[in-house]
Each structure stands twice: as structure tokens, then as C-alpha cells.
Structure 1
Amino acid sequence: MKTIYLFLLSITIFSCQNQTKVDADIAKKATIDSMKIVIENQKIIDSMNLKMAKIVRQKQEKEVVYVNQNGSSTTTNTTTKKKKWSGAAKGAVIGAGVGAVTGAIISKKKGEGAIIGGIAGAGVGAVTGDIIEDSKKKK
């Protein structure tokens, strides 16, 4: 009977040692697989960043204009930049919208209130936008 218990105990010990090796191998494979997935995702992100950089670079490329004078051709490089709105213009648009909505809500004559509110709001918004823009330039 003792021999049977010793036999079962030894089988249990050997099987547990073997199981830890199997668990370690499974853990290694899982780690390697997750690392491969992360690497693939990073490759995709890098390729997307390269494409976006290429698109931005193409937008910023210089425009080439060919001028033919006296049979000779010259090349002039010009850059095209979008004009940005001034602070006063932004303020005027926002103020006009808010003033028109407020005037239409408050006034009994909706159309007339919207027009008056829009004009007043545009004036106040333009002044406010200009003041804010000047304070940003000073900083």
C-alpha cells in the first residue's frame, strides 16, 4: 500500500513539474504573439503617419509658374497660404449670429428684432474680437 502511495505521489510531482514547463511555454508564446501584434499595429501607425506627412508636404509644396518672355522661359516659385480671419472678423460673425438669435427671441416682431440684434451683435463682436487679438499680440 505504501508503494502505491509513493508511486502516485511521484507521478503527481513529475506531472506538476511538467505542467509548469508547459505553462511557461504557453506564457512565452502568448507574450511573443502579443508583441507581434503590437509590432504590426505600430507598423500600420507608422505607415499612416508617413502618408499624412506626405499629404501635408504636398499641400505645402511650392506652386510653379512659367512665364515666357522674348522666347526665353523663366520659372517663378510662389507659395500659397490661406488667409486667416482677423479677430475682429471672427468676433463680428459670432456677434452677428448671437445678436440675431437673441433679437428674434426677445422681440415681438421676429424679423426686425433679428436684423437689429444682428447689427448690434456684429458691432460689439468686432470690437471685442479686435481687443482680444491685440491683447494676444502683446503677449
Structure 2
Amino acid sequence: MFKRIDHIELIPTDIEKSIDFYVHILNFKVKTRKMVNLADMSPLKEVVYLELGDTVLELMSVENPSLKSSQPWITGYRAMALEVEDMEKATKYLEGKGVGITWGPVDLGNSVRAEFKDIDGFDIELRQWK
């Protein structure tokens, strides 16, 4: 019946800056980009689907988006996680691109985990499974 998570939706403050971050820093590819002109979908203006492997991220451009809470432990989605083959290589790559690691890397026994934030402050986890 249920197969997999199809996609995750994010509402960035600036869709162009987010596309640049996810494409040029995290190597996502633009799958589809389209303007939205439906009265019942207002204030939605544009959607962009980005792919990384078999994962799809949908960026949604809306008029006057509300800012994300600064509290890290709120009800709802907390983070998106990206699996990496080599944690040290991944964290050094991100730091070389000016992306700071906000937590870790920490060895959890069965995996190594680290976290960073995208340009809007959304938490992104890195996970290297052992």
C-alpha cells in the first residue's frame, strides 16, 4: 500500500537563494520548475522540485512567508537527513563552501551524525551508517 516518502516540502524566504544552495552546495538537480496560478492555492507562487538520488525536495515560493520558530524542539518536522559515505569528507566539503557544522560529528555506535543549517536555518542532518 504505502511505498515510500515521495517528497518533502520547504517554504524558503528566497527561492532563488535556496535553489542555489541545494543545487550548488548539496548537488541536488532541478527536476521541475513551474509557476502556480490557481486561486485556491494563493499565496503560492511557484514550486521547484529538486532531486538527490531518489529523494525529492519541493521548494514552495509563497508571498510573505512566516518565519520559522527559533525554538529547536517544536511540534512538527525537525530536520531532513542526508546519508553520506564519508563524514569527514562531507563536513570538510561543507566548511570549504562556507557552511558551518552546528553539531557533531558524533559517533553514535551504529552511525556518525552531524548537523548544519541551510540558508533559511532549516536543520539538515548528515548520517554515515557503519
TM-score (ref. length: structure 1) = 0.17
Higher relative contact order (CA 8 A, sep 6+): 2
Which structure has more strand as a fraction of its residues? 2
Asked which structure has the greater CA Rg, the reply is 1
TM-score (norm 2): 0.17
Higher normalized helix content (fraction of residues): 1
